[in-house]
Amino acid sequence: MREKRVPMRELSPEERVKSFAEVALGYSAEEAMLEAKRCLQCRDKPCVTGCPVGIDIPAFVQAIREGEFERAIAVIRESNYLPGITGRVCPQERQCEAKCRLGRRYEPLAIGALERFAADWERARGVRKPAKAESTGRRVAVVGSGPAGLTVAAYLAERGHGVTIFEALHEPGGVLAYGIPEFRLPREVLNAEVEYVRSLGVEIETNVLIGATYDIDELFELGYSAVFLGTGAGLPRFLSIPGENLNGIYSGNEFLFRINLMKAYLFPEYDTPVKVGDRAVVIGAGNVAMDAARCAARLGAEVQVLYRRSEVEMPARREEVRHAREEGISFRFLTQPAAFLGESRVHAVRCLRCELGEADESGRRSPVPVAGSEFEVEADTVVIAIGQSPNPIIAMKHPEIETTPKGTIVVDEHGRTSREGVFAGGDITTGQATVIAAMGAGKRAAKAMHAYLRGLSP
């Protein structure tokens, strides 16, 4: 029994900070088989209970161990339509790998790396055409092409329903396209997963904003029998402190949208610019903050992350924090911004030192600013990555769809909203969470939609 997992090869930090190429390089077949050997094949499969979509992890790991890669990917695809994505972006250390029995004494099995291997192996050979059920004659509208929407679309298309996804942006993928940088999720991986969903017969209509271009009543009039809302948490939060609208201050969304979706890092070959300057400060410590910090480093800035809590409370994936550190990004913990200083463009952030007080509603100890502890951090770029709120456009247009005071759409355990035939899932129902949680919610809703569609009179 090897105590340590087979390490995944990575680009060196020196190479990384010069490009947007993927950092983690994946396992070779030999490495994957070697890692798969570490699996204890627990009968009660604790890892599966940690997986929001319930992949039969021991089964696909066993298949990899035996060199049966085709079987491995088939097992994964039974529960997960986007394995190349989840293998890269899931917080495995808090999900499947946290439940791995190996982890009691050794390093847990590298489940994410193995999932990624299986997905990459399949993509390299060309994703096979999936089998499809006979057409039911029913049509479904899916709003939003992020992880929840893609999952719902794939599940229902597989069962013979006609599915159209409506996407407001000019490219499908939602947060996978505008939010997650290429060095974590290469576009070819995303494109291949979207192609897989298309190969099931799903139509994707871009440049359609539901709530504006069409409202939900029009979707039913057009002949869709059910609607899924997977519109995500796309509204950036700001700090509401002085100077926040100075030039050079971006929301995490704006910064990443420019770089990822619009490819501003290739300006002027691409038309959309981004300015980063010499010193960038990123506020927040989630995955969006890490992505923004690492993008800024690649664009030549010296980057500091400011976080008002301490290191242990950071919500980002552990690997992202490690990669950020390796790339020269520094962290200032227990630091809370109080104001942005500058004339036209920001030149500094005035901060307060914090101490940790009582645990808050999230269970984390909440920061308490220390009076008189002001200090300044120089910055010519600031990225505010303190979270996103649910997208309000549909709720504004459709008051009959019940929402919470936080703006999330209210659903039951089957993803049903207060309007008949309208389902929802993902960040729009939970608030900002993970790709895999959105896929899990999508899957639950899709099952309920399938039952709903079958129950409709013909």
Residue numbers of the site for another protein (CB under 8 A)? 168-170, 178, 205-209, 212-214, 234-236, 238, 240, 244-245, 247-248, 250-251, 253-254, 257-258, 262-263, 266-273, 275, 344-345, 391-393
d(CA 213, CA 167): 11
Q: State which residue, 54 or 392, has the beta carbon closest to another protein.
A: 392
Q: State which residue, 107 or 205, has the beta carbon closest to another protein.
A: 205
Q: State which residue, 356 or 393, has the beta carbon closest to another protein.
A: 393
CB of 170 to another protein, least distance (A): 4
Cα dihedral 89→96→101→313 (10° resolution): 70
Q: State which residue, 194 or 354, has the beta carbon closest to another protein.
A: 194
Q: State which residue, 262 or 321, has the beta carbon closest to another protein.
A: 262
Q: State which residue, 254 or 326, has the beta carbon closest to another protein.
A: 254
d(CA 419, CA 394): 13
**344 Cβ partners below 8 Å, 6+ apart?**
246, 247
Q: State which residue, 34 or 241, has the beta carbon closest to another protein.
A: 241
CB of 291 to another protein, least distance (A): 15
Q: State which residue, 134 or 269, has the beta carbon closest to another protein.
A: 269
CB of 422 to another protein, least distance (A): 20
d(CA 337, CA 244): 11
CB of 263 to another protein, least distance (A): 7
Helix (H, G, I), strand (E, B) or coil at 222: coil
3-class SS shares of the chain: helix, strand, coil, % to 5: 35, 20, 45
d(CA 316, CA 286): 4
Instruction: Report yes or no: 59 and 42 within 8 Å, Cβ to Cβ.
Output: no
DSSP 3: S
CB of 380 to another protein, least distance (A): 12
Nearest to 280 by CA among 239, 318, 328, 326: 328
DSSP 26: E
**In this structure, which long-range contacts are made by residues 351-358, counting pairs with CB atoms below 8 Å and at least 24 apart in sequence?**
351/306, 351/375, 351/376, 351/377, 354/308, 354/309, 356/309, 356/310
Q: State which residue, 12 or 240, has the beta carbon closest to another protein.
A: 240
CB of 255 to another protein, least distance (A): 9
DSSP codes joined into one string, 335-372: EEEEEEEESSBEEEEEEEEEEEEEE-TTSSEEEEEPTT
263 to 179, 269, 371, 415: CA distances (angstroms): 12, 9, 42, 35
**397 Cβ partners below 8 Å, 6+ apart?**
211, 212, 215, 216
CB of 270 to another protein, least distance (A): 5
Nearest to 430 by CA among 444, 399, 409: 409
CB of 123 to another protein, least distance (A): 23
CB of 392 to another protein, least distance (A): 7
CB of 212 to another protein, least distance (A): 6
The two three-digit tokens of residue 128, written as one number: 């096979």
Q: State which residue, 92 or 388, has the beta carbon closest to another protein.
A: 388
Helix (H, G, I), strand (E, B) or coil at 389: strand
Instruction: Report yes or no: 151 and 443 within 8 Å, Cβ to Cβ.
Output: yes
